[in-house]
Amino acid sequence: MLKKAKTDGRKNLIKIPITKSLSIPHRVTGDFGACKIIMRPSIEGSGVIAGGAVRTVLEVAGIKNVIAKQLGSDNLLNNARASICALGNLTTKSQVAKKRDLNLN
- Supply the Cα-derived Rg of the chain in whole angstroms: 15
- Domains of the chain (ranges; CATH) run 16-104 (3.30.230.10)
Intervals of the chain under pLDDT 70:
105
Q: At what angle do helices 52-61 and 76-88 cross, to 10 degrees?
A: 40
Cα(82)–Cα(100) distance, integer angstroms: 27
